[in-house]
Structure 1
Amino acid sequence: MEKKMTKIDIITRTNKFEELKKGLNEIGITGMTVSQVLGCGMQKGFPEYYRGVPLEINLVPKIKVEIVVSEIPVDTVVEKAKEILKTGKIGDGKIFVFPVERVVRIRTGEENWDALQDK
């Protein structure tokens, strides 16, 4: 039976990244892809001034962390991320969970669960 693989995308404040990385490592997450992204949601940006002229900055800098899990339960990852990232203020971020059909490690040709193992 093929093991279930799940992709988890976490988009959050840039200043929370180091704490999130440490927390995910504590529960066994060893690999991740991290991107600096811009986005907006309920926050709708923030006002900024350039040479005394008010500008509305609609896209806020965020960090996007992408991980794929097969051994570690998805709920464990989601709960750990929520515990670390929740401030109760608009802009804490979002967590997206997706099923993964196939993973291929390019170097060795290993697929799926085998491709996710650290050797």
Structure 2
Amino acid sequence: MSKTKSLHYDMCCEAAKILHRSGLDGTNPHKYVAVELITYGREDADVWGTNGASTTLVEVKTSRADFLKDREKQHRKDPISGMGNFRWYYALEGIIKETELPENWGLVEADESGKMV
């Protein structure tokens, strides 16, 4: 869990607002959205939402090192064991290259203040 006065937490809140309003793809608003969801499973989501028919997981990344570490998690290597029908990274610009995304993951970038670009 991040500190409430951190860039990571601010980006989690920004991603949650976007997910609730319109979805990260702009077409799929979510009725229920949680920030820094703690679960009994293997994965704790930075942002998780549902529209009642599907779920979306958002991983927030503020550093390249955090992204590289995230790629080694078991539920990234075996996506069936992870959360979300739809999965996104919400990262600062330039941290993640599109060619590095796991299969079927989306990427939304933010400026240095954490706002979507």
Is the pair's TM-score, using the shorter chain for normalization, greater than 0.5? no
Highest RCO, 1 vs 2 (Cα 8 Å, sep ≥ 6): 1
Q: Considering fraction of residues, name the structure with more strand.
A: 1
